[in-house]
């Protein structure tokens, strides 16, 4: 049929992708058969994949600890940045009953995350005026971890608070609706008697 070439190309592309994954994760293949989309059940080794996942997690934790160790936590601007994030979190938690304020605050947070790349470039050019070392690399790792991630977490707190509030409001509306139906049912019963 006319779809056979399409599926052949799709199968070939998926086999190439699986080959790349085998190479990336250093998984050795036993047997001379080609790989299919679902793989060969005889070659699947769950304990080996679990070991790879544990090694990746350990490596990520090691790199994160190295990142934290590379930061000079005694620099005033870093302490100020941490205090700034704590204040923002407190504002988000304390303003949960003020929806308009939270919408504006959420827009401020997301706008600040959007400007992170521009801030990284500017701060990377002017780091000597406020810091002892340049934290602002071209990939933006520092600004992503120390600026964007806390802002996104505070934004998530606002989002969760608003979802919780909306769900509670929905429950209240449904309760009122049921009470109203019950009242009307009683009125209709009273009129028919």
What's the CA angle centered on 150, arms 147 and 154, to 5 degrees? Answer: 135
The region that residue 89 occupies, defined by phi over 0 for left and psi between -120 and 50 for alpha, beta otherwise, is: alpha
- 30-58 per-position pLDDT tens digit: 544 444 444 444 555 666 667 777 788 88
Predicted confidence at residue 38, as pLDDT, reads 45
State the residue for tokens 């969760």.
160
As a residue count, the chain comes to 193
Please tell me what DSSP assigns to residue 148: I
Residue 107 has what pLDDT? 96
């Amino acid at each position: 049929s006319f779809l056979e070439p399409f599926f052949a190309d799709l199968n070939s592309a998926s086999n190439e992708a699986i080959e790349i994954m085998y190479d990336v994760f250093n998984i050795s293949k036993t047997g001379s058969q080609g790989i299919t989309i679902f793989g060969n059940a005889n070659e699947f080794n769950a304990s080996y994949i679990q070991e790879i996942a544990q090694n990746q997690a350990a490596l990520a934790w090691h790199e994160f600890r190295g990142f934290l160790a590379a930061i000079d936590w005694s620099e005033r601007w870093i302490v100020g940045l941490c205090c700034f994030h704590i204040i923002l979190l407190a504002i988000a938690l304390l303003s949960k009953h003020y929806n308009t304020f939270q919408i504006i605050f959420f827009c401020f947070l997301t706008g600040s995350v959007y400007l992170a790349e521009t801030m990284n470039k500017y701060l990377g050019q002017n780091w000597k005026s406020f810091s002892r070392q340049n934290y602002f690399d071209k990939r933006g790792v520092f600004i992503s971890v120390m600026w964007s991630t806390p802002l996104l977490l505070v934004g998530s707190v606002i989002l969760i608070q608003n979802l919780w509030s909306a769900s509670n409001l929905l429950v209240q509306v449904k309760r009122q609706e049921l009470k109203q139906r019950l009242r009307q049912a009683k009125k209709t019963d009273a009129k028919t008697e």
